[in-house]
Each structure stands twice: as C-alpha cells, then as structure tokens.
C-alpha cells in the first residue's frame, strides 16, 4: 500500500478534529480496495506496486498502471528508529467518503468526512526505520492513466516546500475500523 496524506483540521457544525488527511491510498489487490472503499470509505485506488527493493542502502519502490510508472519512492540512509508516536493533538485520520449519485453527473449520493481514531491496539510494529525520503510523481496524459491521470497530475503539481524525511515500517495486524465515525 502507498498512501498520501498531510496535516488537516476539520471544523463542522458539531465536531472538530485534527490529524492527517488521507487523500489517496494505492493498493495492488481488488478485494481490499472494494471493501475498503465501500465499507469504510477509504480513498483506495488500484496500482501495480513493485516489491520494494534494497539497493545501495536505500529502499526503492514504484507504482504503475498498465505499464505506465507514475510514482517513484526512495528512502535512503536508513537507520533503526523507535516507531513514530502519534502527533500531539492528533485525533487520528481524516478521510472524505464520497459516492457519486447515479444519473446525476457531478452530484453526490454521499459526501461526508470520517475520522478513524489514532489508537490501534491490534497493530504490532516489528521494525521501524527512518531516513531521507524522496518522492516523484510522473505527469500523465489521459492515454497513460485514463482513470487516474487527474489524481497523479494534481499530486505532481504540488510543490515540495520542505523535505521531512522518510520512513519504512514493517508491521503486523491492524484496526478493525469499528471505531470510525462520521464527523458533522
């Protein structure tokens, strides 16, 4: 899985929450994409994700669709580090759950912000490494990525203001998402 997120705050009529906004997750299996989207509203898309490879002390990974490589990731100068603690003041992960209305182009059947609390007691981190990170999205034409070009191109256009490092985490288990809720 490869995900893209950034810090965000939601202020609604009743709720206020801060955390990381999960903009997109690429995954390479259909079943978790379908259930993740439909049941819990994760912003999941399909990609061919190459097995990460170690070269000259760096972990390298790429994502593509039908042979078009749209993303390169690299984490170098890896060193063992304690798992990243939850950010102070973070309520968890914010996501936008959106379902388009059938027959009404541009209208939503469902449009809501969800919060997954940060607590994850069923996840065991086996190894966490920190290092120097680099990411590169390759711009795409419609013919390269018919259903993804707008997503990839929007991410490719974001400026990298300040490099913040990179990390590699190997873990086992995870949340049931039964604690996820809709924010109003």
Which CATH code is given to the segment(s) 2-179? 2.40.400.10
C-alpha pair distances (Å), 53 with each of 62, 85, 131: 10, 26, 15
pLDDT digits (tens, 9 = 90+) for 97-133: 999 999 999 999 999 999 999 988 899 999 999 999 9
In this prediction, residue 83 carries a pLDDT of 80
pLDDT band at 30, cuts 50/70/90? very high
Is the pLDDT at 48 greater than 90? The verdict is: yes
Q: How far is CA 73 from the centre of its chain?
A: 13
C-alpha count within 13 angstroms, C-beta hemisphere, residue 101: 9
Report pTM. 0.88
pLDDT band at 38, cuts 50/70/90? confident
Q: How far is CA 57 from the centre of its chain?
A: 25
Dihedral (CA of 136, 142, 145, 147) sign: positive
pLDDT digits (tens, 9 = 90+) for 71-85: 999 999 999 998 877
């Amino acid at each position: 899985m490869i995900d893209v997120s950034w810090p965000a705050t939601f202020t609604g009529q009743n709720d206020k929450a801060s955390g990381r906004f999960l903009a997109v997750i690429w995954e390479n299996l259909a079943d978790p994409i379908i259930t993740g989207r439909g049941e819990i509203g994760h912003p999941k898309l399909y990609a061919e994700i190459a097995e990460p490879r170690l070269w000259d002390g760096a972990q390298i990974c790429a994502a593509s669709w039908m042979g078009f490589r749209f993303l390169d990731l690299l984490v170098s100068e890896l060193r063992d580090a304690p798992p990243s603690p939850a950010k102070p003041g973070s309520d968890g992960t914010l996501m936008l759950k959106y379902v388009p209305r059938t027959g009404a182009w541009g209208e939503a059947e469902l449009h809501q912000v969800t919060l997954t609390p940060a607590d994850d007691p069923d996840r065991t981190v086996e190894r966490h490494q920190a290092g120097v990170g680099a990411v590169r999205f390759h711009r795409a034409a419609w013919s390269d990525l018919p259903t993804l070009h707008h997503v990839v191109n929007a991410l490719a256009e974001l400026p990298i203001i300040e490099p913040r490092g990179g990390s590699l985490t190997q873990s086992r288990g995870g949340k049931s998402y039964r604690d996820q809720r809709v924010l109003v």
